[in-house]
Amino acid sequence: MREKRKLFLEKEKEHRKRKWEKEKRKWATKSKDKDLRKDDDSPATLEEKKRRKEERRK
């Protein structure tokens, strides 16, 4: 039982950490704080961004 609880707490801790990072990035984009913003400039992401931009224009 303790092991299950321990695993649950570890997962919960990771979840909160990811959630907090996501929240920080969201506020960073609102405040234009570029060093906190997560920039993913991989080719696939850039293509996806371009495609979405084109869809919005239509």
Start-to-end CA span in the chain (Å) = 56
How much is the pTM?
0.42
The kind and range of the H/E element at 50 are: helix 43-57
Domain spans of the chain? 2-57
Q: Is 49 within 8 Å of 39 (Cβ atoms)?
A: no
| pLDDT tens-digit profile, the chain (58 residues) | 899 999 999 999 999 999 999 888 887 766 665 555 555 556 667 788 888 888 888 7
Summary count for the chain: helices (H), strands (E): 2, 0
